């Protein structure tokens, strides 16, 4: 398993709504994530909107993203989430995830 860390930036004025939406992620979206290799996936949010994601995958960050990019439900979810994020330009939120370097691990 690879352990992936990434960052995104939620708009500060949308933080509460972002949290509410993530208490009710569509079951089809959850199934697609599992099917495409997103496991033990958590999102952490700072009050100003800094968002950190962590997940484990048997493939790679890019392969997991590419798998989700082929899921029709993902296009719907990302379109519904796009207004919540800062500075993505024409990117979908899942295209704007910034991968971080793992510099330490202890099992």
Integer Cα distance of 79 and 50 in angstroms: 20
What residues between 24 and 43 interact with a copy of itself by CB under 8 A? 25, 30, 33-34, 38-43
Which of 12, 17, 19, 22 is flagged as catalytic?
A: 22
Q: Is 91 in the site for a copy of itself (CB under 8 A)?
A: no
Integer Cα distance of 76 and 29 in angstroms: 9
CB neighbour list of residue 27: distance below 8 Å, 6 or more residues apart: none
Contact residues toward a copy of itself (CB under 8 A) are 3, 5, 7, 18-19, 22-23, 25, 30, 33-34, 38-46, 50, 52, 54-55, 98, 100-107
């Amino acid at each position: 398993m690879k352990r992936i860390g990434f960052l995104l930036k939620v708009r500060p004025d949308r933080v509460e709504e972002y949290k509410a939406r993530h208490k009710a992620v569509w079951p089809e979206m959850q199934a697609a994530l599992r099917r495409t290799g997103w496991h033990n996936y958590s999102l952490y949010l700072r009050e100003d909107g800094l968002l950190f994601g962590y997940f484990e995958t048997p493939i790679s960050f890019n392969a997991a993203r590419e798998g989700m990019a082929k899921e029709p439900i993902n296009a719907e979810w990302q379109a519904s989430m796009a207004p919540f994020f800062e500075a993505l330009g024409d990117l979908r939120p899942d295209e704007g995830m910034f991968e971080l370097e793992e510099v330490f691990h202890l099992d």
